Amino acid sequence: MFRLYYISGICALATHIVLEEAGAPYETVLVDFHSQAQRSPEPLAVNPKGRVPVLATESGTLTKTPALLFFVAPLFPNAELASSQNRSRSHRFRSSTVICSMVHVAHGIACGAQGGADNAA
């Protein structure tokens, strides 16, 4: 069972889509950005950097959306997300990598890149 920590409207959407498309067992934990909940004890215990998305797995905790996407997809080969044969399915996976980078930048601009340099790119 995966646990995805996310803030609404950020690049975590990409991981959420891939978990769903993969048919992965997961639960979500909504972190309230406006109250800076990402800096409260539970998320900080998972990721001391106070950033999300974070994916808690049975083999450890992962951060950085591309790492999450490329961790999840091969674990569920029947979903064919990274398949070169099933173009429709792999298109959804590639779209998630685009969502991850574009939504991240848009959120950084909308929030005045509150998180500093790591938030702006």
Ligand X SMILES: N[C@@H](CCC(=O)N[C@@H](CS)C(=O)NCC(=O)O)C(=O)O
Residue whose tokens read 């790591």: 118
Q: List the one residue out of 5, 31, 7, 30 whose CA is nearest residue 111.
A: 7
Exposure of 93 by Cβ count < 10 A (0-12 exposed, 13-18 middle, 19+ buried)? Answer: buried
Q: Which CB, 7 or 22, lies closer to ligand X?
A: 7
CB of 7 to ligand X, least distance (A): 6
Q: Which CB, 65 or 96, lies closer to ligand X?
A: 65
Task: Judge contact between 45 and 20, C-beta under 8 A.
Answer: no
CB of 58 to ligand X, least distance (A): 20
CB of 106 to ligand X, least distance (A): 9
Q: Which CB, 87 or 94, lies closer to ligand X?
A: 94
CB of 103 to ligand X, least distance (A): 8
Q: How many CB atoms lie within 10 A of CB 59?
A: 6
Question: Which residue has its beta carbon closest to ligand X?
Answer: 115
- Interface ranges with ligand X (CB under 6 A): 7, 10-11, 38, 50-53, 64-65, 104, 107, 114-115, 118-119
**Beta strand 54-57 with 60-63: parallel, antiparallel or unpaired?**
antiparallel
Q: Which CB, 16 or 51, lies closer to ligand X?
A: 51
Residue 69 is which amino acid? Answer: L
